Amino acid sequence: MKANFSAVTHGLQLSVSDVDAVQQVLAENGARVLEHHGLQDVPFAVHAMELHLDPEAATPLRAALASAGVATTAIVDQELRNARRKLLIMDVDSTLIQQEVIELLAAHAGKEAEVAAVTAAAMRGELDFAQSLHTRVATLAGLDASVLEAVSAAVLLTPGAANLIINARANGHVVAAVSGGFSQVLAPLAQSLPLDYSLANELEILDGKLTGKVVGPVIDRAAKASALRRWSAASLVPVEHTVAVGDGANDLDMLTAAGLGIAFNAKAALREVADAEVSIPYLDAVQFIAGL
């Protein structure tokens, strides 16, 4: 049975010859282009092509486009793209923001390099996330709680993040963030953006000092997927109409649970399971992929 999809390609430079090459690959893989339009209102070119193809051909078609040199392509079911109301749920560190908050905190303790190495291994899926989090947080023991305010001030949004959130909410969609980082940094960010929902780990503070521990269950990959389902139900948005964006192994369950999982400049472990990849440093590319 044939179905309608959108193939969205984007990049800093996408020449006419590149578009012709894309259309040739589509034709060779049984996809009929119904409509093609380009957008130029962002710092990258976006070409959206409405397709008619067999749903089972979507995955091999993405592989064929990648082999042809098209670095970033999403093939998205039109039912999801056209859904009146969606839930966008994003990872925070190295997705919504440019940095890893745990590393910013560790710098105040003189442990940045040590913690960065553990973070990188955890995001590649080489370490259990909860265990790695406890190991990294332990290096923060004794830090004055005032460092949280300094780190919050140092956080930089990923380019395009504010535009993505503003446009998504203006179009009636629900926007959330879930993080293996810390609520003391995410909560004020969520309020300022603003986000509809947010969740992160809570650092324990006693007598104005970080204890090197977190309070309550760790926000790991299972907790992120659970948050997606919980917020989807609370927002009356079907899970099939949810869009999840992340960069590391801790986002695996969330991306596979979502109607559309997008790997944002991600580690290999996540790219392997994602429905789509973004390989440019602009988060608002997600808007065009998901029809937000």
pLDDT in tens, 111-124: 888 888 877 887 78
**Interior angle at CA 121, CA 11 and CA 132, nearest 5:** 125
Which of these, 197, 203, 196, lies nearest to 182 by C-alpha position? 203
The CATH number for 6's domain is: 3.30.70.260
In a domain, 59, yes or no: yes
> How many folded domains does the chain comprise?
1
Domain assignment of residue 145, yes or no: no
Tell me, yes or no, whether 12 lies in a domain.
yes
Quote the pTM value: 0.86
Sort 187 into a burial class: Cβ within 10 Å, 0-12 / 13-18 / 19+: middle
Q: Residue 2: pLDDT band by 50, 70, 90 thresholds?
A: very low
Known catalytic residues are 91, 93
Domain that holds residue 10: 1-82
- 188 within some domain: no
pLDDT tens per residue, range 167-221 = 999 999 999 999 999 999 999 999 999 999 999 999 999 999 999 999 999 999 9
The residue-averaged pLDDT of 217-232 equals: 97
DSSP secondary structure letter of residue 108: H
Please state which of the ranges 40-49, 89-98, 195-204 shows the lowest mean pLDDT: 40-49
pLDDT surpasses 80 at 277: yes
State how far the Cα of 230 lies from the Cα of 124, in Å rounded to an integer: 26
- Annotate 205-229 with three-state secondary structure: EECCEEEEEEECCCCCHHHHHHHHH
Q: Residue 177 falls within a domain, yes or no?
A: no
Report the half-sphere exposure of 265 (CA within 13 A, side-chain side). Answer: 16
- Alpha helices (runs of H) in 29-128, residue ranges in sequence order: 58-67, 78-81, 101-108, 112-123
Q: What percent of the chain has pLDDT over 90?
A: 53
CB 258, CB 43: distance < 8 Å = no
More reliable by pLDDT, 194 or 3: 194
CB 175 within 8 A of CB 168: yes
Is residue 256 within 8 A of residue 244, CB to CB? The reply is no
On the question of pLDDT at 9 being above 60, the answer is no
Question: Which stretch of 22-31, 32-41, 150-159, 241-250 has the lowest confidence by average pLDDT?
Answer: 32-41
Enter the tokens of residue 181: 């980082």
Please check whether residue 240 lies inside any domain of the structure.
no
CA 247 to chain centre: 6
